[in-house]
Structure 1
């Protein structure tokens, strides 16, 4: 049976009789020695806490930049962050050992003056307060403000700590991976503290606090949305396409381009479902006016293009267009039917906003804070963002015109309205069967209770 340690009273009685190197161990000496050790351990705790924040707040691209600049400690930071899980385990093992040691020493010292239970309570409360203030809050605040410089300072001591605690680090590193493999957990605890959602949250905060103006905020949000955009959401639909048949003469093609106001248009053979390429008005005028051959035909100036599926990611499409130096692509559906076209300008507008020319209409024109005239071809997500509403998006439709047709179940006429979830949509302008403009209004509480049901259409 293992003997229990003597109670504090027995230790106090024995103290005057114990000495080392002619130094008499007294109650006062043990108290001051223990207090000094606790102060040192608080410093070590602060070191580990601040190291964790500094090392894991430092993004990888900044680590590479520090290494390229040849700054002291940069290589060690890179080495430590090459195995982030091992680094995190080292910090956690060291920090917990130090904090537990502080609590144990404080309990022993307070046991000289108070009862066992009282000493334990005082030690727990006291050490907790001290560690939170001097071992966590203050050092972590400093590390956040001085991430790069502090990371370079603590990198080498952290490596020494790993060597010193190697048996425990290896053991807990293995146990953590083992438990994660059993529970199905991921090794993500050492990943960067910044996520995509947090970046978007910082953008919102930046606008509220005046760091970003409204235009900058909107452009950054468009960049995030662009990654989730598909070709069908960007394209000019088939009905709005201007194209020329392959059998047209050069003069006819030039006339079509001039009247449409476009620099380039698709060329088709027999029907729009068989687009063979693109022509540019510059090439037509140059060859017809200054070319050596007076009998020039469209075949001589047609440039190749890409046919891409309507589900293609806009991010990938933009990279492909840049790589192939193509300014216009044709969008097709699963049956190979032409659905529309996309220009480089369309892609850029998705990020920077609409680039209007001449008398071109604004896609969204606000009449007041709760009412706007929008183009029927606008995507629902754009309208939701601009008006802060929540119209649904479906697989059958992506535009506000498509939403109205879907709710009505038939062709609609001007001045017809539809109400949905606190929003009233009034058809302002129709051309043939197409909805060109829609008045979108938010409905207040009283009016919302009395309004028509979402599926009900009526003439005003």
Structure 2
């Protein structure tokens, strides 16, 4: 009796070992597909031996994948055989019982040996591959004959069906591109400015409407009850092709009017008769998705609303396009950038520059206290609407008010402070 139980216990242990190896092979399979060669090469250059072994596995990708597939199939078949043996001998199960065991086994293997290792490996591909590189290397040596045989057979099939493979290296993610530029910058091949430009393009998906919108205070709009003559005067004075229309308050925008609609319908009496309905989006709307929606629905502009439903800004189709293909920084209609470099570590900034963008661009941490723009931060910091020439220091920068009115701060000069040098002998 004890001998029989010990035999069954051995099979249970063997099943556990097979499940572990199935987990291992599935994780390695995902790691070799998703791991970034660029990151591994960078780590290998710093002397990381595990990264060097991982690169060797990627260099012999056919053999590595072949070993993984053979190993995974062997352990899965072995585990199935052991489970079936236990079900038919230890528990004397018939057809119905075997069906239940098979269903449970399939679910366990799917979750424990497929989904779980692949999710973990995809999230930490380089680390997983480096950690498993040594045992994979040993398994490759042990299974080399079987792997070589499988490669010969797969090569025969490729020739039979005329399958060709591209040897071109593929960059798979924005993170990998960013890593390439970081390494290039560290090695002096790429300058900082170009790296910043590429990073801005890569972060396109992360930009939200609030960061590129034209604030309400800068929007030229007309009230709904104005006459067509007054509306025409605004068009002539601004030379804009579209003018937003509000009712009662400037943050209650109902729609917008095209200048061409006035020309086409000269007999119109009221603005409401030619007004196009406004489209609203939240401040947190990602502009990548917004651009797609505006393009598909032919919407030229949208109005950004806060949590209370008040309009806080406007985004046009052109604003988003300029964010991608312009000079990286958002620009206003005069073409003057919100950020202008005056010299080494000295910049001229527009007051309406988004504070989130400012923090990312200049690597400054600011606790937001109800403001969304740089001018709001300056006013909060000084406790008033400052006058031209007022200044203060924050973090590693000096902020100087270059231009201000009674109501707002238009321009700020940002100057990076020089590090104070210690005099020899001072503590």
Normalised TM-score (structure 1):
0.56
Distance change >3 Å, CA 309–CA 175, structure 1 → 2: closer
Shift of 1:238: 1.3
Among 137, 142, 155, the alignment partner of 2:59 is 142
- Is 1:166 aligned to residue 141 of structure 2? no
- Is 1:446 aligned to residue 420 of structure 2? yes
Mapping of 1:116-127 within 5 angstroms? none
- Is 1:307 aligned to residue 224 of structure 2? no
Distance change >3 Å, CA 304–CA 447, structure 1 → 2: farther
CA distance in 1, matches of 2:332, 2:376: 26
Structure 1 unaligned regions, length at least 5: 1-48, 61-131, 289-293, 449-460
Shift of 1:397: 1.9
Contact 1:380/1:393 (<8 A) preserved: no
Among 108, 120, 137, the alignment partner of 1:188 is 120
- Is 1:328 aligned to residue 238 of structure 2? no
CA distance in 2, matches of 1:202, 1:392: 29
Shift of 1:267: 1.2
Shift of 1:419: 0.4
Equivalent residue number for residue 418 of structure 1 = 392
Equivalent residue number for residue 374 of structure 1 = 349
The alignment partner of 1:318 has SS state of: helix
Equivalent residue number for residue 25 of structure 1 = none
Shift of 1:264: 1.0
Shift of 1:51: 11
Among 40, 44, 58, the alignment partner of 2:33 is 58
Shift of 1:439: 0.8
Among 416, 429, 440, the alignment partner of 2:403 is 429
Among 249, 263, 279, the alignment partner of 2:227 is 249
Contact 2:398/2:415 (<8 A) preserved: yes
- Cα deviations by residue, 1:379-409 (Å, 9 ceiling, x for unpaired): 23434455x4415151522322111111112
Structure 2 unaligned regions, length at least 5: 1-23, 36-48, 83-104, 127-171, 423-427
The alignment partner of 1:414 has SS state of: coil
CA distance in 2, matches of 1:52, 1:411: 58
CA distance in 1, matches of 2:193, 2:275: 39
CA distance in 2, matches of 1:383, 1:217: 17
Shift of 1:254: 2.7
CA distance in 2, matches of 1:425, 1:406: 13
CA distance in 1, matches of 2:278, 2:194: 33
- Is 1:363 aligned to residue 338 of structure 2? yes
- Cα deviations by residue, 1:287-317 (Å, 9 ceiling, x for unpaired): 33xxxxx345433332222122333333343
CA distance in 2, matches of 1:358, 1:273: 21
Shift of 1:197: 4.8
Contact 1:389/1:423 (<8 A) preserved: no
The alignment partner of 1:428 has SS state of: strand
The alignment partner of 2:336 has SS state of: coil
Normalised TM-score (structure 2):
0.60
Equivalent residue number for residue 165 of structure 2 = none
Distance change >3 Å, CA 358–CA 404, structure 1 → 2: closer
Mapping of 1:151-162 within 5 angstroms? 158-162=68-72
Shift of 1:209: 5.6
Distance change >3 Å, CA 254–CA 207, structure 1 → 2: farther
- Cα deviations by residue, 1:187-211 (Å, 9 ceiling, x for unpaired): 4125555776555333323455677
Mapping of 1:30-429 within 5 angstroms? 56-58=31-33, 136=53, 139-140=56-57, 142-143=59-60, 150=62, 158-167=68-77, 187-189=119-121, 192-193=125-126, 197-206=175-184, 217-288=195-266, 294-295=267-268, 297-352=270-325, 353-354=328-329, 359-386=334-361, 388-429=362-403
For the pair shown, which has the larger CA radius of gyration, 1 or 2?
1
- Cα deviations by residue, 1:241-281 (Å, 9 ceiling, x for unpaired): 11122233334323212322322121123332432211112
Shift of 1:374: 0.8
The alignment partner of 1:268 has SS state of: strand
CA distance in 2, matches of 1:210, 1:367: 24
CA distance in 2, matches of 1:206, 1:162: 39
The alignment partner of 1:58 has SS state of: helix
Shift of 1:56: 3.8
Contact 2:26/2:117 (<8 A) preserved: no
Shift of 1:425: 0.2
Shift of 1:421: 1.6
CA distance in 2, matches of 1:140, 1:257: 66
Distance change >3 Å, CA 265–CA 54, structure 1 → 2: same
